[in-house]
Amino acid sequence: MAIEEEIKLTADSVATLDAIATDPLVLAYTQGQPVKLRSYLATYYDTPERQLLNHQLAFRMRQEGSGLLRANLKGTGGMEAGLSRRQEWEETLSAPVQRLGELPAGELREQVLAVADPDTPLVPLLVTDFKRRILLLHWEGSRGEMALDQGEVRAGGRVHPLCEVELERLEGSIAPLQALTADLMQRYPLRPSQRSKFGLGLSLLGLDRDI
């Protein structure tokens, strides 16, 4: 298990994301490393009785390179002023699973089977579909990742647009990311996100909760 620690900001437009991607201060922190471009299509699943959600767990499968899938489980945590800290487990899959009992042995499987029936079929809950620009940031003793996301969340026949900045701590203190966040918020129309992407999807389903 890892603890995911990141700052989530909502941008007013794609033009703001474009400006941040070429901001001189941000580029100085990349130390010349190029921007990476990724497209992510992920589906979140649960049992028909929503056993995972009822235990504050979010399970998704997302296509990765070489035909593999990345299974991800996020657990309890919280978000305050855009700073999110959550438990996280990941596993690489060669094919989608139809039931939680089909997951390979490991911590992720143990976590979900502690609260859900291994033989109950999984059903789609919501979808996140977005393009991401990734900038790796470096400070002395610290590393972070900036993600600029543009796309949408789909659930229950409804759509919520995404225009977000995420700053994730990879190594060292999160303080440099917090300082960068404060600077960017002074110069760009950004505000702390109130919900995760999963939480936005739940709101489309009429569920007033997040994890």
**Beta strands 69-80 and 83-93, pairing class:** antiparallel
Q: Identify the domain containing residue 140 by its residue range.
A: 2-204
Residue 75 pLDDT class (50, 70, 90 cuts): confident
pLDDT bracket for residue 5 (50, 70, 90)? confident
Interval 155-174 mean pLDDT = 94
Does 211 map to a domain? no
CATH number, domain containing residue 47: 2.40.320.10
Give the closest residue to 188 by CA, choosing from 33, 25, 28, 36: 25
pLDDT band at 173 (very low <50, low <70, confident <90, very high): confident
On whether residue 209 sits in a domain, the answer given is no
Q: Contact, 149 vs 128, CB < 8 A?
A: no
Is residue 210, in this structure, part of any structural domain at all? no
Confidence at 91, pLDDT banded by 50, 70, 90? very high
For residue 62, what are its two tokens?
């997302």
Residue 16 lies in a domain: yes
Task: Calculate mean pLDDT across residues 145-154.
Answer: 98
Query: Where is pLDDT greater, at 121 or 82?
Result: 121
Q: How many domains in the chain?
A: 1
Least confident window among 64-73, 86-95, 194-203: 64-73
Question: Which pLDDT does position 174 carry in this prediction?
Answer: 85
Q: What angle do CA 97, 44, 63 make, to 5 degrees?
A: 65
Q: Does residue 82 sit within a domain? A: yes
Question: Among 47, 48, 49, 43, which Cα is nearest to 71's?
Answer: 43
Q: Where are the alpha helices (DSSP H) in the chain?
A: 14-21, 24-30, 51-54, 107-113, 175-187, 197-204
Average pLDDT of every residue of the chain: 91
Q: Give me the pLDDT at residue 67, please.
A: 74
Angle at 81 between CA 153 and CA 193, to 5 degrees: 15
Mean pLDDT along residues 139-157 = 93
* Average pLDDT for 6-22: 96
**Where does residue 14 fall: left (phi above 0), alpha (psi -120 to 50 degrees), or beta otherwise?**
alpha
Q: Are strands 158-171 and 69-80 parallel, antiparallel or unpaired?
A: unpaired
- The answer to whether residue 54 is domain-embedded is yes
